Chain A
Amino acid sequence: MSSHADVVVISAGIIGASVAWHLSEKKVDVLVLDKSDPCSGTSGACDGMVFLQSKKPGVHLAMAMAGRHRFDNLARELDAEIELRCRGGIMAVTSAAELAAVTRFIQEQNRAGLGVSLLDARQARDLEPCLSTDIFAATFCPLDAQVNPIYLTLAFLDAARRHGAKVLSRTPVMDIRITPRGVYAIDTPRSIIETRTIVNAAGVHAPEIGKMVGLEIPITPRRGQILVTGPMPPLLSRCLISAGYVAAKYDPDIAGTGSMGISIEQTARGNFLLGTTREFAGFDTTASLTAAKKILSRTQAVIPGLANARLIRTFAGLRPFTPDGLPILGHVSSRPGFIMAAGHEGDGIALSPVTGQIIAELITGTTPGISLTPFHLERFFRGTVS
């Protein structure tokens, strides 16, 4: 059996779902394929922070800032509850050494137009009384927000379906061939699907899809563990990371030593999500209790009230890591019609609306508002012959 779609989006993760919705809104005939249920990859095993403060000034921050505005009207556009809360975010500084680094970091961010302010310990506790008295200082960015990543992914998909997109879950892409007529033929256990345009949004599995068309895609899984507490009364109203988080994120040497920064958010339901690790451990998603112990002692040091919490679950997700920390987006010159939208590492939730928008613009022939050159796959192969 064979069928046809103008665009086939591989994956119903948050990126694929957003791409599908943006395309369907532009009346493009789109089919979404996922080997599993929607949102069962990384997008279902992560935090929901829309954090700008954690982004490195440069293209990364520019993209995140462009993307942040999309959240303001998102719930209305999608006509769904996505548990978006825009109360700003906090970065806790725990030592004088950290303070020096952080001061430089936010100076650059402020130069880039992101309003970040430095708070002393007292001001920080005025904002979030649950913070420990041992906090050295904190930074605050009013634009930081949080969202429920699962609800957002499903809302993208629901809205896409309402606009006519087809979603086939539990349908793995097994192989991709090029037919004599020059179109892609996608093999799935159900049928063969022909299309001229494929969007590879398979997250950490994007390299497998790449291999099917002879492309090497440098995305590796970087595991992050998260602990979930039982629902607690409102304690923390903003999302919070530690300065060490930014270090662990951008300095693989630090990450390699097992160092970790922390991230804390309290969900709309009241559960705390406590994170996290950044480990290269292949596709293994087991969460270790050793890591749990570390995460608990570090997060509780920042919010002492967590001592009263009950740990109800742990989970681990795989961030789609790229060597330079930037996602891989846009056309691949050697493979016409094959478009990349993967490798968002720890920012896929925050960058999902803007990614969907850019890719949809690209496919419908509009020039995207952001230059895609720094995000092309080819950046990794400069100087090599393809």
Chain B
Amino acid sequence: MTRNLRIPGIVRGSRIQFFFNGREITAFKGETVLAALMAAGIKTLGVDPHGKGRGALCGMGVCYQCRVSIDGRPGRRACMAQVRAGMVIETEKDLP
């Protein structure tokens, strides 16, 4: 397990839980989905048509490489969406 990747000494929002591919993950209200996943050591957010992993690139809503399905809605950008309690996030397989 990696060290805690959240920078210490920061006042954060309240602690919440969400689900990534069925796994329960802790986050803080106000974080983006991308930040919450990266803090949990998760970098692979999708699978390309050749079976290779896909992860965030720009981190600012430009490249659409961080898309995940959120609560059943496909193609949402993890770097732009805010994490919410109980959110169900799933990786997507890209179409060929």
> Which B residues are CB-close (under 8 A) to A269?
95
The range of chain A's interface size is under 10
Whether, in the assembled complex, A233 has its beta carbon less than 8 Å from a beta carbon of chain B, the answer is yes
Measured in the bound complex, the distance between the Cα atoms of B73 and A238 in whole Å is 25
> Which A residues are CB-close (under 8 A) to B73?
308
Whether, in the assembled complex, A231 has its beta carbon less than 8 Å from a beta carbon of chain B, the answer is yes
Whether, in the assembled complex, A218 has its beta carbon less than 8 Å from a beta carbon of chain B, the answer is no
Whether, in the assembled complex, B53 has its beta carbon less than 8 Å from a beta carbon of chain A, the answer is no
Interface 0/1 of A202-215, CB less than 8 Å to B: 00000000000000
Contact check, A231 vs B95: say whether CB atoms are below 8 A apart: yes
* Number of chain B residues close to chain A: CB under 8 A: 4
Whether, in the assembled complex, B74 has its beta carbon less than 8 Å from a beta carbon of chain A, the answer is yes
Contact check, B75 vs A310: say whether CB atoms are below 8 A apart: yes
Main secondary structure on chain B at its contact with chain A? Answer: strand
Interface 0/1 of B64-96, CB less than 8 Å to A: 000000000111000000000000000000010
Contact check, B75 vs A270: say whether CB atoms are below 8 A apart: no
Contact check, B95 vs A233: say whether CB atoms are below 8 A apart: yes
Partner among A270, A308, A310 whose Cβ is within 8 Å of the Cβ of B95: A270
> Which B residues are CB-close (under 8 A) to A232?
95
Measured in the bound complex, the distance between the Cα atoms of B68 and A60 in whole Å is 48
Closest chain B residue to A310 by CB distance?
B75
Measured in the bound complex, the distance between the Cα atoms of B49 and A270 in whole Å is 13
Measured in the bound complex, the distance between the Cα atoms of B95 and A270 in whole Å is 8
Measured in the bound complex, the distance between the Cα atoms of B75 and A231 in whole Å is 10
Interface residues of A in 218-250 (CB under 8 A from B): 230-233
Measured in the bound complex, the distance between the Cα atoms of B75 and A230 in whole Å is 9
Measured in the bound complex, the distance between the Cα atoms of B73 and A233 in whole Å is 14
Closest chain A residue to B72 by CB distance?
A308
Residues of A with Cβ closer than 8 Å to B? 230-233, 269-270, 308, 310
Can you pick out 9 interface pairs between chain A and chain B where the beta carbons lie within 8 Å of each other? A230-B75, A231-B95, A232-B95, A233-B95, A269-B95, A270-B95, A308-B73, A308-B74, A310-B75
Residues of B with Cβ closer than 8 Å to A? 73-75, 95
- Of all A-B residue pairs in the complex, the 9 with the closest CB atoms, nearest first, are A231-B95, A270-B95, A310-B75, A230-B75, A233-B95, A308-B74, A308-B73, A269-B95, A232-B95
Seed contacts A230-B75, A232-B95; 6 additional CB < 8 Å A-B pairs: A231-B95, A233-B95, A269-B95, A308-B73, A308-B74, A310-B75
